[in-house]
Amino acid sequence: MRAAIFTQIGRPLSIEEIKKPEVKGKEVLLKVLATGLCHGDLHIIFGEWKDDIPVNPPRILGHEIVGEITEDTEHFKKGDKVLVYNAFGCGTCKYCKRGYPQFCEKVKILGVQEDGGFAEYVKVPSEDNLIKIDDNENPIKVAPLADAGVTAYNSVKGIEEDSNVALIGTGAVSLIALQILKSRGIKVTVVGRNPIKLNKALELGADRIIQVKQSYSEDFSARIGREKFDYIVDYIGSDETLRDIVWALDRMGELRIVGEFGGRMEIWEQLLVLRGLRIRGILYGSKEDMINVVKLYKEGKIKTLAVPYKLEEINQAIDDLMSGRIIGRAVIIP
């Protein structure tokens, strides 16, 4: 089978012909139909997570997967299209039992600890993590739901309808989260640098956009004046976005951090206490979140903004993502 191989930090992925995976026991072999290209893949390729999430090359990346069942299983038939919930925990720890295997100490992610979806076939540890999608669904459009959609849903879950919300960043996760919030009639401000992506946010229903030209902290503060937000969701998570951001929260406001660009925060303890502020980290989501976001997609309430690339074009897709030329989610088709 053909696959895009991560061979060395900082090097382009290598398109190679390799052996198709062999399955045993409860493992399931999927023919890959489409796999989203996440910014997390770029963090791995360029070594930005090497001290926190080591990935041992050679490795097939790609964790946002739609595939086709190749042989009948207990719950699926050959030819069924499925979305992969990509957090395989131990199943017995308190996090797995609560439905959050992404926090399991033994968690395995296809495309990180195990070979993923930038290939013609992928081996899945268990059918329990598969969700069937309709035969008529376009796998290219569905693929981003497997991570961007799940994360977006989790990042705005529980936000009350009378809230004033700011979304920091204009990537695929932020744009899906915007659509989810607007489907519930919530007021949303989107903050970012890329004017084309900001215009897309307006097209998707944003009540206001703020273009950052210098510093996120300074430009955001200057534009909002004394306005405060009930929720701020940061899809970047850099030093620049996190600096001073809590000052824009209203009393009992909440900052949710999704992006993983290695930012650090310095917070006055009394600001947290006197305003009753909350800070949360958002990592992926639950299988239930995936089921719910697929439902929203089927109801036509969200678009995934998929941009297709052939497997042989994956390095071009990586370059386009790095350069901010992709409005939405790049999706790789083997």
The answer to whether residues 296 and 275 belong to one domain is no
User: What's the pLDDT at 54?
Assistant: 81
SS3 content of the chain, % helix, strand, coil (to 5): 30, 25, 45
7 and 140 inside one domain: yes
Claim to verify: residue 62 and residue 114 sit in the same structural domain: yes
Q: What is the pTM of this model?
A: 0.96
Same domain, 122 and 33: yes
- Same domain, yes or no, for 7 and 142? yes
46 and 171, same domain (yes or no) = no
Note whether 289 and 274 are same-domain residues. Answer: no
Name the domain boundary from 263, 281, 299.
Answer: 281
Name residues whose C-beta falls within 8 Å of residue 35's C-beta, 6 or more positions apart in sequence.
Answer: 62, 63, 64, 65, 66, 111, 116, 117, 118, 143, 331, 332, 334
Task: Give the CATH number of the domain where residue 243 resides.
Answer: 3.40.50.720
SS (H, E, C) 141-174: HHHHHHCHHHHHHHHHCCCCCCCEEEEECCCHHH
How many CA atoms within 13 Å lie on the side-chain side of 38? 32
> For residue 303, is it within any domain?
yes
* pLDDT reported for residue 279: 97
Q: What is the 3-state secondary structure (H, E, C) of 304-316?
A: CCEEEEEHHHHHH
Residue 25 tokens read as 């026991």
The confidence score (pLDDT) of residue 51 equals: 80
Residue 126: which CATH number? 3.90.180.10
The pLDDT value given to residue 222? 87
Residue 152: inside a domain: no
- Does one domain contain both 186 and 75? no
Q: Tokens 């970047």 belong to which residue?
A: 236
Instruction: Report the candidate in 15, 29, 96, 37 with the shortest Cα–Cα distance to residue 67.
Output: 29
pLDDT in the model for residue 168 = 98
Indicate if 135 and 172 belong to the same structural domain. Answer: no
Closest CA to 164 of 253, 243, 247, 282: 253
pLDDT in tens, 134-161: 999 999 999 999 999 999 999 999 999 9
- Clarify whether residues 56 and 205 are in a common domain: no
Domain that holds residue 203: 157-281
Domain count, the chain: 2
Q: 243, 259, 281 — which closes off a domain?
A: 281
Is residue 196 assigned to a domain?
A: yes
Q: What are phi and psi of 34, to 5 degrees?
A: -170, 145
Residues 193 and 262 in one domain: yes
pLDDT (tens digit, 0 to 9) for every residue of the chain, 334 residues total? 999 999 999 999 999 999 999 999 999 999 999 999 999 999 999 998 888 888 989 999 999 999 999 999 999 999 999 999 999 999 999 999 999 999 999 999 999 999 999 999 999 999 999 999 999 999 999 999 999 999 999 999 999 999 999 999 999 999 999 999 999 999 999 999 999 999 999 999 999 999 999 888 888 888 998 999 999 999 999 999 999 899 999 999 999 999 998 899 989 999 999 999 999 999 999 999 999 999 999 999 999 999 999 999 999 999 999 999 999 999 999 9
In sequence order, what DSSP letters do the residues of 227-253 get, joined into one string? Answer: --EEEEEESS--HHHHTTGGGGEEEEE
Query: E strands within 181-291?
Result: 187-192, 208-211, 229-234, 249-257, 278-281
pLDDT digits over 43-74, tens only? 999 998 888 888 989 999 999 999 999 999 99
Smallest Cα–Cα separation from 42: which of 211, 194, 172?
A: 172
Give me the residue label for tokens 């239930």. Answer: 288
Gap between the Cα atoms of 317 and 273, Å rounded: 45
Query: 163: which 2 tokens?
Result: 């809230």
- pLDDT tens digits, one per residue of 206-242: 999 999 998 888 888 889 989 999 999 999 999 999 9
Task: Report the C-alpha gap between 233 and 174 in whole angstroms.
Answer: 9
Length of the chain: 334
Closest among 35, 109, 36, 28 to 69, alpha carbons compared: 28
58 prior amide bond cis, ω within 30 = yes
Q: Beta-carbon neighbour count of residue 74 at 10 Å?
A: 7
Q: Which two tokens stand for residue 35?
A: 């796999």
Q: Return the pLDDT at 56.
A: 87
Bridge partners, 59 (sequence order): 6
